[in-house]
């Protein structure tokens, strides 16, 4: 039986980063992934992910974001390629709405350079933003942009392998258990492995490994659209900041054209459909396309050309839409990162560092109190403010 310092279950965005940071600290790491290295059955595919600094979800995320930016740039140096594309970000909606107020609060509290733009100024600077009414206010932050999702996973995987990690794909975990020596034993379809520590980054499958997460990390179907712009020059990265906006139809987010000839965007929580992650069907149909196209036609008419592609993925939502990052009370050698609720990918680099901290030291210098499992205990106060969506 092979013995490791740490086993990481799941090698998507969070797990690959965790394996990378553990291996770079000299740990003997085993990474286990049930699917291929790059696959479209979880939450880490789709070419691009937004990164933004004026974070409306809660001001406590901003210090983690600053460290995430440092680590993403460090990963670029390791990989020898650009992984974070800066476009600026626009975050807002109605002036009294949660996204605008939250982004402005975070920017002011953390002294983040920013501007407040009304709909007219936003349209003047960025003509693609043509359909927003006079009630719209956004926080512009110059450091916003997007990450290359698959490329960042590959960079973390390649870096982990170069540092000596043992990464195994198409090897799903059947079970794990804490063992009397204070370590863990993990059983897959192929073998059994022992380790001192276990790191669970299994995305929508986390609750299959931790029954305590059944009601705390709930998978939801999400669909993204890429539409061919009628005026593609308006949707290039230099002229189109990433956005997150509240409108009367809901909350939407989007990206400039990159890699494929399509303006990419999504509707937070889409149809609010639960999904069984073991169901291989990730198809998107006419209803998905119609709902997304209606948004583009109203707010980005120059972007609402022919559909280039639709892709489904999975959000894994916690009850308050804040992350779950903690060690287990009854097995402190086991740490879990789950419930990223559709806004976690930008943090992969720093969460990898945090999970390595928890596995090696049992604690981290980063403030992760907002993400504690204890907040869900009966009688607990819970987070200061849940994520609000119109």
Beta strand segments in the chain, E: 2-9, 29-32, 48-51, 84-86, 89-94, 115-118, 136-141, 145-148, 166-168, 173-178, 184-188, 192-200, 218-227, 242-247, 250-255, 263-267, 273-274, 307-317, 324-328, 331-338
Q: Looking at 21, 24, 49, 156, which residue is catalytic?
A: 49
Q: Looking at 21, 24, 45, 270, which residue is catalytic?
A: 45
d(CA 12, CA 241): 26
User: Is 110 an annotated catalytic residue?
Assistant: no
Strand-pairing partners, residue 175, are: 187
d(CA 326, CA 335): 6
d(CA 284, CA 289): 8
Nearest by Cα to 51 from 324, 259, 350: 350
Q: Looking at 114, 137, 264, 375, which residue is catalytic?
A: 264
Nearest by Cα to 230 from 130, 140, 90: 130
d(CA 18, CA 22): 6
Bridge-based pairing of strands 331-338 and 263-267 is: unpaired
Are 183 and 194 within 8 A, CB to CB?
yes
User: Is 269 an annotated catalytic residue?
Assistant: yes
User: Is 313 an annotated catalytic residue?
Assistant: yes
Tokens of 383: 């987070």
User: Is 48 an annotated catalytic residue?
Assistant: yes
Q: Looking at 56, 114, 343, 346, which residue is catalytic?
A: 346
Q: Looking at 48, 99, 136, 327, which residue is catalytic?
A: 48
Q: Looking at 99, 114, 207, 313, which residue is catalytic?
A: 313
Q: Looking at 21, 58, 101, 269, which residue is catalytic?
A: 269
3-state helix, strand, coil in the chain (%, to 5): 30, 30, 40
User: Is 264 an annotated catalytic residue?
Assistant: yes
Catalytically active residues are 45, 48-49, 264, 269, 313, 346
């Amino acid at each position: 039986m092979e013995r490791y310092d740490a086993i990481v279950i799941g090698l998507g965005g969070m797990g690959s980063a965790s394996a990378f940071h553990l291996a770079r600290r000299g740990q003997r790491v085993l990474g286990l992934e049930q699917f291929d290295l790059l696959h479209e059955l979880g939450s880490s595919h789709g070419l691009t992910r937004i990164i933004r600094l004026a974070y409306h979800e809660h001001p406590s995320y901003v210090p983690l974001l600053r460290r995430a930016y440092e680590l993403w740039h460090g990963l670029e140096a390791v990989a020898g390629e650009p992984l974070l594309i800066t476009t600026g970000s626009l975050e807002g909606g109605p002036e009294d709405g949660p996204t605008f107020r939250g982004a402005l609060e975070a920017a002011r509290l953390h002294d983040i350079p920013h501007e407040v733009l009304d709909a007219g100024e936003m349209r003047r600077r960025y003509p693609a933003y043509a359909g927003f009414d006079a009630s719209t206010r956004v926080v512009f932050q110059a450091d916003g942009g997007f990450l290359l999702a698959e490329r960042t996973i590959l960079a973390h995987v390649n870096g982990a392998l170069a540092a000596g990690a043992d990464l195994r794909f198409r090897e799903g975990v059947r079970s794990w258990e804490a063992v009397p020596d204070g370590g863990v034993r993990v059983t897959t379809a192929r073998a059994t492995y022992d380790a001192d520590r276990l790191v669970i980054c299994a995305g929508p499958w986390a609750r299959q490994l931790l029954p305590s997460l059944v009601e705390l990390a709930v998978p939801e179907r999400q669909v993204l659209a890429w539409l061919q712009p009628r005026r593609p020059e308006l949707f290039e990265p230099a002229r189109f900041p990433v956005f997150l906006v509240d409108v009367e139809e809901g909350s939407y987010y989007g990206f400039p054209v990159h890699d494929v000839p399509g303006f990419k965007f999504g509707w937070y929580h889409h149809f609010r459909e639960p999904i069984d992650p073991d169901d291989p069907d990730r198809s998107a149909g006419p209803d998905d396309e119609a709902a997304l196209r209606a948004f583009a036609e109203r707010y980005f008419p120059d972007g609402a050309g022919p559909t280039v592609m639709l892709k489904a993925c999975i959000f894994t939502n916690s009850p308050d839409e804040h992350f779950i990052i903690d060690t287990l009370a009854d097995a402190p050698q086991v740490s879990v990162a789950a419930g990223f609720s559709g806004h976690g990918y930008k943090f992969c680099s720093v969460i990898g560092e945090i999970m390595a901290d928890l596995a090696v030291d049992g604690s981290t210098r980063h403030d992760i109190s907002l993400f504690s499992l204890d907040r869900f205990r009966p009688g607990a106060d819970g987070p200061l403010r849940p994520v609000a969506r119109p």
